[in-house]
Chain A
Amino acid sequence: MSHSTAEAPQGDLSALISEHSGGEGPLLPILHAIQAAYGHIPQAAIPVIADALNLTKAEVHGVVTFYHDFREKPAGRHVIKLCRAEACQSVGGAELGERVLARLGLDWGGTTANGAVTVEPVYCLGLCACGPAAMVDGKVVGRVDDARMAKILTEAGA
């Protein structure tokens, strides 16, 4: 999932917005589409969305910041989400997460200096009978141990 992190040319953005603005309550679908295209919600998109949906910029900004999914800055080339919820904790998920962060010298949500990997927390992937669970660039991984994680990190170029 290597995103193009370039700022949006105005035309593309308007096209994305109008593609999703026909339905009821279109703001979340629009934000998801923009994030899928650009890897984050570019600041420049807020006034364009606000204009298209007849909302204030503050309202759009408020929605973007309410939801954990929407990023205001681009992520690394690869995104690793590690489950921090109870079922994964019962099989050592918390300790695994701490070791990953320590190895990369990151906090939750941080990106490695070479821009290769962002590590984000996630609260449940529905893989609660095969934890610790992770999602690597949208792909699910179960029973993650240190060896498996080392392989994932190497492949991602962390």
Chain B
Amino acid sequence: MKIYIPRDAAAKALGADEVASAVATEAAKRGLDVQIIRNGTRGMIWLEPLVEVDDARGRHAFGPVAPADVPALLDGKLESLGAVEDIPFFARQTRLTFARCGLIDPLSLSDYEAHGGLAGLRRALGMAPGEIVAEVTASGLRGRGGAGFPTGIKWKTVAEATADRKYIVCNADEGDSGTFADRMIMEGDPFTLIEGMAIAGVGTGATKGYVYIRSEYPDAIAVMEAAIRIARVSGLLGASVLGSGHPFDMEVRVGAGAYVCGEETSLLNSLEGKRGIVRAKPPLPALEGLFGKPTVVNNVLSLATVPVIFEKGAAHYAGFGLGRSKGTMPIQIAGNVKHGGLFETAFGMPLSDLVIDIAGGTASGRPVKAVQVGGPLGAYIPVSQFDTPFGYEEFDQKGGLIGHAGIVVFDDTADMLKMARFAMAFCAVESCGKCTPCRIGSVRGVETIDRIAAGDPAATVILTDLCDTMRDGSLCALGGFTPFPVMSALRHFPDDFARRKEAAE
């Protein structure tokens, strides 16, 4: 009998390690032959620790399981949730990027191959570099890190640059609150990222890859490092990728707690061992990136989606989605929410479906007040705009962004003035300091919001002006987009800003 108990950080945070040791102890006590597999999470965090027992009847789920439930679990007396695939939250998804996450043993390359792994790389190795890049372009894949830039075009620029050395840099800095998909796939299906990076290397002529993982993710770092070692031993990485003659190797580098290092040029400086100051563009990293060499910088999800594009074909991938938002998006539903977790679906689903139907509303049971989509630089969206379909252009038109596709739900106790103040304060703490509107403006922003809170009516105009200045005068999106959460809070929830005035008067 096999028992799957996730090793994912969220599952661990909810007691998965304790459940795993209880299963080991109880099984030994009963003389049961049990193989414990520490898989990734299936993404239904409210059910974690979600344990799956695989016996003669197939794989069935239990959750959330506490250590005290383990005797009943092994006696067959615990009530099952049935097959994961039949749980509505899971059944409604289209899992392409996350197809294997939670299903397989993350560190078993044979399990990986048995579930479609390496098929994409093998196909790519039979193609010319130009064909590889064209396939990515045809898939319509856009960068999942936030900006939504077409991945194929980025790869083409690097492929066509001539240099003695090129790099693939995977951005695993995942700093946005409300996002955890990068972490989840690195912990649950690390070979997908390795395979995607190898395809990127072969397609662009890059021979070396770095995964820059935030230090806040010790579990992801450990799994990625172990997977890279396995990939090297088995010839997936090294002097000749799967015997093709293409050299490609990679290593993990660990960040040091700076949000701005998720910005690609800041990240490159950090990798070079410098302060994470943002670089002016041009030059584009694709032409002069890491150590001045042509460099692909892509988000984890962008690279981890490449294998399935090659396995199933660009047309298959592009067949999903809405308008220019092609394929699927692993949406992360977080915050004050009943059913939080990872929901991968084709672009186009309206916010209301995601927040109300799928997530079941708030955990507190109170009415939803707002959701912040796209991390700390994303807008607060009121319930009146919940019909907005999930897509790059659709959110842009509403003055928001989908970013890395995190949705943070707030109930009606949320104070939007406080959230606006937090956005400014966060920008002040994390600013790299290169430009004045961001470095000084954010500090002034906090002060100005405090004046509004104290009942100064003129301060609202000043805040609006300040946001305009930050938006127009900042080099990168930290200073440039902080106005999104601030102004959306002010615009959609004026009562939270006005009530203070009345209270003061």
A interface residues with partner B (beta carbon < 8 Å): 23-29, 31-32, 53, 62-63, 66-70, 85-91, 122-131, 133, 135, 138-143
Contact = CB atoms under 8 A, between A and B. Distances in A.
A130 B337 CA distance: 9
A25 to B, nearest CB: 4
Contact of B419 (A66, A89, A123): A89
A129 to B, nearest CB: 3
A25 B272 contact: yes
B13 A63 contact: no
Interface in B250-303: 251, 253-259, 270-276, 291
Contact of B372 (A86, A123, A129): A86
Interface string B9-21: 1101110000000
A155 to B, nearest CB: 15
B217 A126 contact: yes
B274 A63 contact: yes
Contact of B254 (A28, A63, A143): A28
Interface of B is mostly: mixed
Nearest to A66: B275
Contact of B408 (A86, A126, A133, A141): A86
B334 interface: yes
Nearest to B433: A66
A56 B409 CA distance: 47
Interface of B: 9-10, 12-14, 45-46, 48, 174-180, 182-184, 215-220, 251, 253-259, 270-276, 291, 332-337, 340-341, 363-364, 372, 376, 406, 408-411, 414, 419, 422, 426, 430
- Give the most central of B12, B273, B419: most A CB within 10 Å: B273
Given A26-B273, A90-B408, A142-B14, A128 B180 contact: yes
A124 B216 contact: yes
A143 to B, nearest CB: 7
B255 to A, nearest CB: 8
Contacts of B414: 90
B14 A27 contact: no
A133 B219 CA distance: 15
14 contacts: A25-B272, A67-B257, A67-B276, A86-B376, A90-B414, A91-B364, A123-B175, A123-B177, A130-B10, A130-B14, A130-B340, A133-B13, A142-B14, A143-B14
Nearest to B275: A66
Nearest to B363: A91
Contacts of B182: 126
A128 B256 contact: no
Given A123-B259, A130-B48, A86 B177 contact: yes
Nearest to B432: A66
B198 to A, nearest CB: 19
A135 B291 CA distance: 34
A21 to B, nearest CB: 10
Given A86-B178, A87-B177, A140 B411 contact: no
A139 B13 CA distance: 8
B180 A140 contact: no
A126 B183 contact: yes
Nearest to B186: A126
B431 to A, nearest CB: 11
A5 B215 CA distance: 21
A74 B133 CA distance: 49
A140 B12 contact: yes
Complex A-B, nearest 4 residue pairs according to Cβ-Cβ distance, in ascending order: A129-B340, A27-B273, A142-B13, A85-B177
B216 A125 contact: yes
A84 to B, nearest CB: 8
A16 B491 CA distance: 54
A68 B215 CA distance: 11
A128 B178 contact: yes
Contacts of A32: 215, 254, 256
B179 A126 contact: yes
Given A66-B276, A126-B183, A127-B10, A87 B335 contact: yes
B273 A126 contact: no
Nearest to B260: A66
Contacts of A31: 256
A70 B256 contact: yes
B252 to A, nearest CB: 10
Given A124-B177, A129-B46, A87 B334 contact: yes
A25 B408 CA distance: 36
Nearest to B341: A129
A150 B317 CA distance: 49
Contacts of A85: 177-178, 376, 426
B10 A129 contact: yes
